[in-house]
Chains A and B, each alone.
Chain A
Amino acid sequence: MIRPSIKGQRLVALFLLGFLLLNYPLLHLFAGPVRVLGIPILYAYVFAVWALLIGLMALAVEKGDD
């Protein structure tokens, strides 16, 4: 049986992290017209955070210790 556990708590922490990173005011820091390697910083930032979140969520779910 799957029980609320350290995994669940890690996932909630990731939710909070993602919510912070992808909303005002932190999002505002990357809202300008700067480009990184030709890619707009806003676009790059949002997708990078998104990918990072998914990676961390995969880690949280798949990591063996419960």
Chain B
Amino acid sequence: MLTAPVILIASFAYLGLLFAIAYYGDKRADAGRSIIANPYIFALSLAVYCTSWTFYGSVGRAATSGIGFLPIYLGPTLMAALWWYVMLKIIRISKQNRITSIADFIASRYGKSQMLGGLVTIIAVVGIIPYIALQLKAISNTFSIILHVPEIAMVGKESPPLFLGDNTFYIAMLLAAFTILFGTRHLDATERHEGLVAAVAFESLVKLLAFCAVGLFVTFWLYDGFGDIFSRAAQVPELGALLTFGGAAGSYTTWASLTFLSMAAIMFLPRQWQVTVVENVDERHLTKAIWLFPLYLLAINVFVLPIALGGLMHFPSGTVDADTFVLTLPIAENAPWLALFAFIGGLSAATGMVIVETIALSTMVCNDLVMPVLLRMKGLRLTVRRDLSGLLLGIRRGAIVLILVLGYLYFYLAGEAYALVSIGLISFSAVAQFAPAIIGGIFWRGGTRIGAMGGLAAGFLVWVYTLLLPSFAKSGWLPIGFLSQGLFGIDLLKPQELFGLSGLDDIAHCLFWSMLANIGCYVAVSLAKRPSAAEHGQATVFVDALRQSGATAGPRLWRGSASVNDLLSLLGRFLGPERAQEAFESYARNRGARSLESLAADASLVHHAESLLAGAIGSASARVMVASVVAEEPLGLDEVMNIIDEASQVLAYSRQLEQKSRELEAASQELRDANQRLQELDRLKDDFISTVTHELRTPLTSIRAFSEILRDNPRLDDAQRAQFLGTVIKESERLTRLINQVLDLSKIESGNAEWHSSEIDMREVVDDAVAAVSQMFKENGVQLEVNVPRALPSIVADRDRLMQVMLNLLSNAAKFCKRPGGKVSIALARQDGFLRVDVTDNGIGISDSDQEMIFEKFRQVGDTLTNRPQGTGLGLPICRQIINHFGGRLWVQSRPGEGATFSFTLPFNPAQAQSLAA
């Protein structure tokens, strides 16, 4: 049967199992194969939120207020939805800055202030002590109940002697020993305890199973399911009220304030911070926990009301404490093994909370309270001691014992006056004081150190006055008149009706006044004074945490000189020389340095050392210690602003530079193309010049030859003389024409030609051209035929230039047409918005291969040896340039022996073309 030895053995065996799990977890972590690196273990470890309060206290609360126990679990569910923005950011910040506790977080955010860290630690320790007392009370009550199986013994109200005569004291010390074993076996810079997390997750599973086992037992064994329990309860007049939102569940204000409190608690209870932020392996686990964790809460709460109702209906009113129904119902129904399972479940809930909470608190006490003080005491000469890691562990162990002793004392002094949940709510209200400084700190740049200090201090004092002191008064340790008449008998100072505010329950009342004082001071004081450089720097690091990568956080705002060895030995003193050496070597490897000696002691290394140290002794102390070995030059606010300005300017410049270089590349490409074109043109020009000089030399040579003949032979007869002079004149004319044309072409090509555009009728141009060449055609016996439509739209062009084109084409036609029987025709026609002019001859024709060549400069078709054509070879190129200039086209169609047709097009005057189309 269930005897004391069995219970004790079972309890110790269970604790032994937990320790084995923790040990295994640590081993696996050291081997690099973590057993906690998955979201399910993470979510289960978050369930350390569910303590004796949940396991025993919820039923007690439900027995008096129906579903009034639920806001404590609905709050975290709602909060989980906001984790995506809030918790992820906190985790990111903490990882970037190696923050290991709430005190460290707040201190670090507000300029690495040691004062602030200390204040937060005090608030956390004082605030959590009632909560630890709650666990002690639950363990000690349930322990004495299960020892008396099969009777149901209620713990007497008379107090046993303090300390050594009291079982609860031994329980507290046992828990302290257990916590020390779990949490402070060695010092780790990250403060992570993988084994512990594994054990806590296991405990969460056990308490859930135990509670659900009792729930199923009550609901389906003692009764016929949910419907049955509720129907029966509804028939009992006193129980009917528990099923509605009447007076029993308290007002909606209570409901809302409990929801708010639990929202703050799920984030800012030191143990929640420990498992959520510090022990977090991977951010993605948190995102999955957003729904897994609320699911756990839902599961562990389904049976609370059935157990409470079952207990109330089973036991005569007032004989059994509703906080113990989870245990006493199985005992009363003769299910001792289920009772033992329930007891183990309750033990899980309590030990999980106590262990994680005290570890988190001891880290804070050590890093943010004791170390800063010790480091300031110059007499201790701590800053020059070789190895301080032992001292750090000692302080933490001492803190764990101290916290449990304080918890025990609170239990002893005030524990009996309250139900479990009411004690827990006192702690929740204390922890809620962190909310403004943390939430404000990560979203609002303007929060300052003294603002946070003022807010925290004010909120904490109001909490002490309106909630903590009354809890002592109710237990008789302060005069009860303090409650009923107010401080010094002043009515307005009644702690639970401050300034006459009545109608709220004590929690909502405290929450209102403390939040008013806290947020009010935080905002008002923050706005009253400009932040310092350090505060400004940290505010940016925190608020912009999601924008910057880990590497860039922090080190920039630093200026000074340091040596690698100094930093290494400093680190060695706190972490142990081997760990420090290891940490620096891995840092050197990451930076690509070959050895420690080749490392530069730059801002980045100093920052790295500081954050390593921050893990062990807190950011504020780390700041002080690093400063002691590094010659730093303080940065003023102006300088920080300058650095930030410079950085943003550099950023802007580099963007501009990028743009410029892109533009430059495009420009250089254009230049390359232009250069290529130039080279091509240059080559063309050389060709042109050599051709021109050649063409010039031919007439010059003949002029010179004939002139010399005339000079050397004065006795030439007149007829011959006249013939020679005629040749000289003809060649000179040819030379002039050639030079004129060269000039003309070069003008057109260079764009320097003058154009006198006007609206002209092409028919008139044709008429004039025909008139001009008619004499020549007649002389050569060439027949000219003109084919012009009656009406044609006008075109815009230079009349003289078009005349030049027409004359050139006609004289070419006359030159090359058949002799005799030459025939030339001109035709004007409309073609797709263009005017088309054809000049056709019946001459020898041009072969396909020559058709494009004739438009090149100085190219003339024909055998130059036998049949030297007249002309300069520039006429057609000039014509083509002119027609192109007016937006038209000039080409030739021909077959050898069948004559040739030179055609060109010109666009109609656009204005007129439109009006014609319309």
Contact = CB atoms under 8 A, between A and B. Distances in A.
B83 to A, nearest CB: 8
B288 A22 contact: no
Contact of A24 (B82, B244, B256, B305): B256
Given A14-B81, A19-B78, A54 B256 contact: no
B302 interface: yes
Contacts of A53: 77-78, 81, 294
Contacts of A37: 227
A15 B77 CA distance: 9
Interface in A37-66: 37-40, 42-43, 46-47, 50-51, 53-55, 57-58, 61-62
Interface string A17-48: 01100111001101111010111101100110
B226 interface: yes
A58 B288 CA distance: 8
Contact of B230 (A31, A39, A47, A54): A39
Contacts of B331: none
Q: Which of A7, A51, A54 has the most CB of B within 10 A?
A: A54
Interface in B36-69: 66-67
Contacts of B231: 35, 38
A57 B70 contact: no
B306 to A, nearest CB: 10
Q: Which of A18, A32, A61, A62 has the most CB of B within 10 A?
A: A61
A14 B84 CA distance: 12
A8 B70 CA distance: 26
Contacts of A33: 234, 240, 243-244
A51 B298 contact: yes
Contacts of B230: 35, 38-40, 43
B290 A22 contact: no
A51 B259 CA distance: 17
A24 B79 CA distance: 18
B244 A32 contact: yes
Contacts of B291: 54-55, 57-58, 61-62
A12 B81 contact: yes
A11 B244 contact: no
B192 to A, nearest CB: 21
B255 interface: yes
B284 A15 contact: no
Chain A interface helix/strand/loop/mixed: helix
B488 interface: no
B256 A47 contact: no
Contacts of A30: 245
Contact of B252 (A2, A18, A28): A28
Contacts, number: 113
B240 A18 contact: no
B585 interface: no
A14 to B, nearest CB: 5
A2 B849 CA distance: 71
A15 B74 CA distance: 11
A5 to B, nearest CB: 9
B546 A3 contact: yes
B287 interface: yes
B245 A28 contact: yes
Given A31-B244, A57-B294, A15 B82 contact: yes
B156 to A, nearest CB: 35
A4 B88 CA distance: 10
B546 A57 contact: no
Given A23-B255, A24-B252, A46-B67, A11 B78 contact: no
Contacts of A12: 81-82, 84-85
B283 interface: yes
A53 B230 CA distance: 25
B228 interface: yes
Nearest to B89: A4
A57 B259 contact: no
B67 A43 contact: yes
B84 A4 contact: yes
Given A11-B82, A27-B255, A38-B231, A2 B74 contact: no
Contacts of B651: none
Nearest to B224: A38
Interface in B270-297: 283-284, 287-288, 290-291, 294-295
Contacts of A11: 81-85, 290
A27 B255 CA distance: 10
B78 A15 contact: yes
Given A12-B85, A38-B230, A54-B298, A18 B287 contact: no
A57 B80 contact: yes
A43 B243 contact: yes
A8 B80 CA distance: 11
A39 B227 contact: yes
B390 interface: no
Contacts of B243: 33, 35, 40, 42-43
B246 interface: yes
A61 B293 CA distance: 13
Contacts of A18: 74, 77-78, 81
Interface in B510-556: 546
B81 A23 contact: no
A30 to B, nearest CB: 8
Contacts of A42: 66-67, 243-245
Nearest to A33: B244
Nearest to B289: A61
Contact of B234 (A7, A14, A27, A35): A35
19 contacts: A11-B81, A11-B82, A11-B85, A15-B79, A23-B252, A23-B255, A24-B252, A30-B245, A31-B244, A32-B244, A33-B243, A35-B234, A37-B227, A40-B243, A43-B230, A50-B294, A51-B298, A54-B294, A54-B295
Q: Which 5 A-B pairs have the closest CB atoms?
A: A38-B227, A31-B245, A24-B252, A15-B81, A40-B243
